[in-house]
Chains A and B, each alone.
Chain A
Amino acid sequence: MASAFEYAPAPESRSIVDIAPSYGLFIDGEFTDAADGKVFKTVSPSTEEVLSEVAQAGSEDVDRAVKAARKAFEKWSALPGSERAKYLFRIARIIQERSRELAVLETLDNGKPIKETRDADLPLVAAHFFYYAGWADKLEHAGFGADPRPLGVAGQVIPWNFPLLMLAWKIAPALATGNTVVLKPAETTPLSALFFADICRQAGLPKGVVNILPGYGGTGAALVAHQDVNKVAFTGSTAVGKEIARTVAGSRKKLTLELGGKGANIVFDDAPLDQAVEGIVNGIFFNQGQVCCAGSRLLVQESIQDELLDSLKRRLSTLRLGDPLDKNTDIGAINSEEQLSRITTLVEQGEAEGAERWSPACEIPSSGYWFAPTLFTNVTQAHRIARDEIFGPVLSVLTFRTPDEAVAKANNTPYGLSAGIWTEKGSRILAVANKLRAGVVWSNTFNKFDPTSPFGGYKESGFGREGGRHGLEAYLDV
């Protein structure tokens, strides 16, 4: 099908960001090579162009970074909260100042549309630092006792889907409460964390308070296992989360995990359909569906199934897939070859199990990693595409007849991160929300985030909350 509108290309200029040919580890305020000299390349997933070569931290580097963070902890935690606050306010302001540069960088390294990095990721990053800056000198008001103390050195491992935002979610509350951090960004998206190191320098942050160690899973495992780490925070897959839980078992390390999801987006027959369609699209195609809280299971009331699906398919036909730097792009690149093959495998299995696959006509660029928006109907709860987190632009459609059935189906998953409810009836929203075993429930909206609002999962979606007053607890000795 031909696109409804023809658009001229409207690419954001990449000249605003200056990517160095190589980056080191950021330890104790200095960029340094890995002890064993190892490096890895980071590529732009939309073009497969090598963006930079990055030092890969090994266990010796992890040890050095933890020592630096330990050394910095004494002074940092002893600072008056009001002084720590001012450092964080400075960081928030510098992020605001450099937000366009960081948005372009993130789009290049991650593959997500500039529209999203510019209008969602970066504003949320700055807001998160701004919010937690304000807590640094108000901890006695947060409900954790008169003088809550920090834990010490936090080891933090973050994913590639929202690289800088996940960094903000980890670092802002940790520093506000007086901890120091060693953070490992994902191997496919290390660059924005390394730019953040430069922001720490501009803000005059004391050396060793923030240490950044790019690397693969092995680096993360070494960090999590390090004896002198007091707190572990991880965002990523449920499988790795369970492995981390086993690693820290029997230690004194405080653990928070933000893991996978299989969010149900429930549409009742009285829902405002046009709004619901927008919400469904946002719920599963935001960031190419590479979102732990994605609304990847659409539960639609049987009586409106046909009408809703017609409307949804029409809407999907207007989505624009392509150059992530183009300001009109809705669907960018899949983050890596590995992720693309995982999505492909699960989708093939969906077809093999008898579900009906549909995608709009969609031109796929010749280089890079791409996956067309995909919709599955005739899905049963037993299908793997209804149970496993696909982490891609793939929506599984199931139906229900009664609210009770909707709730039962929504909860029929080991995950419990997010859910959506679409209905004009307020009491139904609240009744259904009460029954859902999920950490975030959006009604008549989806994928809304705010630094003041706690986020996190039930069941195998992890434990602990990030954001809001609740987000402080993960970094306090309470």
Chain B
Amino acid sequence: MSEKTEKTERFDRLSVFKTYKLYVGGKFPRSESGRVYEVTDSKGNWLANVPLSSRKDARDAVVAARKAFGGWSGATAYNRGQILYRIAEMLEGRREQFVREVADSEGLSPAKAKSNTAKAAAVVDAAIDRWVWYAGWTDKIAQVVGGGNPVAGPYFNLSSPEPTGVVAVLAPQESSFLGLVSVIAPVIATGNTAVVVASEKSPLPALSLGEVLATSDLPGGVVNVLSGRTAEIATPLAAHQDVNAIDLAGADDVLAKELEIAAADNLKRVLRPQPVDEVDWSTTPGTDRMTAFLETKTVWHPTGSLGASGSAY
């Protein structure tokens, strides 16, 4: 027994690599195309082979998102808030993993490894807190952007926000985790479902986030994560007739314009990318990323009349 222990101690234990897979409809498929591409850290060292999604993968993801929309949009705002908060709880427990992945993805030189990790840790902390921030919004956004309207007649008149439907989200290319969370959370907080295209160069945090979502009581299909060439996946999404909106955060100016033109075909709601020099994912967001994917529904109902007397109390 002791001999055996001695023997194994002579070797560094070989780690087990993770196979990075897509997250679609609550499951973890490979790309139907069988393709992968190589992801490296900032110094060019190999990190993983990740799925190179096809247009078919994009369409499958839209089907999954559409299927999940009824249940998710019909859940109470309180319930959605509980689940978003649960995501923060789950992420907190896997904080070290994400710090490592963010450090690798957005890395600095080894000499500055320590400060780099510290920075990656701050990024992950901010991303966890962002889930908490949006968890609190689920049951408040209607109170901020909706309300009764004092129409000049005997009518009850109430405007309420409703989610627009399936939203294609092109995640930011540079901020592979905080930026990613900052674009997903506001879309689903209000009851939309999402098809997310991960940062092309740094997709690992996004694919790992799928594993967190899968264990956070979030129904399958509410968030679907695809990795691959942004332009290749985004083009069929922008043209898809069953996609209601598209967030172009991860598109460059040329691609954004092409996609916006394609999106006009069924009048998708389009959130244009912010100018590069204005992007700062670390600041507290406003409500704009939620309202971009909300419809306003106004309901009228006659109030009737009790006659002239009424009550003078």
Contact = CB atoms under 8 A, between A and B. Distances in A.
B82 A141 contact: no
A89 B287 contact: no
B2 interface: no
B145 to A, nearest CB: 10
Interface residues of A, number: 37
Nearest to A436: B311
A452 B142 CA distance: 10
A130 B311 contact: no
Contact of A89 (B77, B85, B303, B313): B85
Contact of A404 (B81, B143, B284, B310): B310
A141 B144 contact: yes
A425 interface: yes
B303 A427 contact: yes
B16 interface: no
Given A452-B139, A452-B143, A469-B143, A407 B302 contact: no
Contacts of A21: none
B220 interface: no
Interface residues of B, number: 31
Given A141-B287, A404-B310, A407-B311, A426 B140 contact: no
Contacts of B309: 404
B140 A135 contact: yes
B78 A134 contact: no
Nearest to B89: A93
Nearest to B142: A452
A130 B78 contact: yes
Contact of A407 (B82, B140, B310): B310
The A interface, classified by DSSP as helix, strand, loop or mixed, is helix
A437 B312 CA distance: 10
B137 A138 contact: yes
A441 to B, nearest CB: 12
Interface in B140-154: 140, 143-144, 154
Contacts of B137: 134, 138
A468 interface: yes
Interface in A182-219: none
B306 A403 contact: yes
A428 B82 contact: no
Contacts of B82: 130
**Residue among A408, A436, A451 with most chain B CB within 10 A:** A408
B21 to A, nearest CB: 31
A427 B132 contact: no
Interface in A404-423: 404, 407-408, 411-412
B174 to A, nearest CB: 24
Contacts of A407: 306, 310-311
B55 to A, nearest CB: 39
A426 B301 contact: yes
Contact of B136 (A85, A408, A430, A431): A85
Contacts of B5: none
Contact of A435 (B140, B144, B287, B311): B311
A247 interface: no
B313 A437 contact: yes
A138 B307 contact: no
A127 B311 contact: no
B129 interface: yes
Given A127-B78, A408-B311, A89 B132 contact: yes
Q: Is the interface of B mostly helix, strand, loop or mixed?
A: loop
A134 B310 contact: no
Interface string B105-141: 0000000000000000000000001001101111110
A46 to B, nearest CB: 32
Interface string B214-251: 00000000000000000000000000000000000000
B304 interface: yes
A435 B310 contact: yes
Contact of B129 (A82, A127, A138, A430): A82
Interface in B78-92: 78, 81-82, 85
B186 to A, nearest CB: 13
Nearest to A413: B313
Contacts of A451: 139
B156 interface: yes
Given A127-B78, A407-B310, A407-B311, A135 B136 contact: yes
B307 A404 contact: yes
Contacts of A435: 306, 310-311
A370 interface: no
Which interface residue of B132, B138, B154 has the most chain A CB atoms within 10 A? B132
A432 B303 CA distance: 8
B305 interface: yes
Interface in A106-150: 127, 130-131, 133-138, 141-143
B138 to A, nearest CB: 8
A452 B137 CA distance: 12
A349 interface: no
Contacts of A357: none
B133 A427 contact: no
Contact of A411 (B133, B304, B306, B311): B311
A89 B86 CA distance: 11
Contacts of A404: 306-307, 309-311
A41 interface: no
Contacts of B307: 404
Contacts of B284: 82, 137
A384 interface: no
A141 B287 CA distance: 9
Contact of B313 (A127, A138, A141, A411): A411
B156 A430 contact: yes
Contact of A431 (B135, B143, B304): B304
Given A134-B139, A135-B140, A411-B313, A434 B303 contact: yes
B303 to A, nearest CB: 4
B238 to A, nearest CB: 31
Given A437-B313, A468-B143, A134 B135 contact: yes
A408 B132 CA distance: 48
Contacts of B81: 130, 134
B80 to A, nearest CB: 12
Contact of A437 (B144, B287, B301, B311): B311
30 contacts: A82-B133, A85-B132, A86-B132, A130-B78, A130-B81, A130-B82, A130-B85, A131-B78, A131-B139, A133-B136, A134-B137, A134-B140, A135-B136, A136-B136, A138-B133, A138-B136, A141-B144, A141-B287, A403-B306, A426-B301, A426-B302, A428-B304, A430-B304, A431-B154, A431-B304, A436-B311, A452-B78, A452-B143, A469-B140, A469-B144
Given A130-B82, A431-B303, 6 more contacts: A127-B78, A138-B140, A407-B311, A428-B304, A434-B303, A469-B143
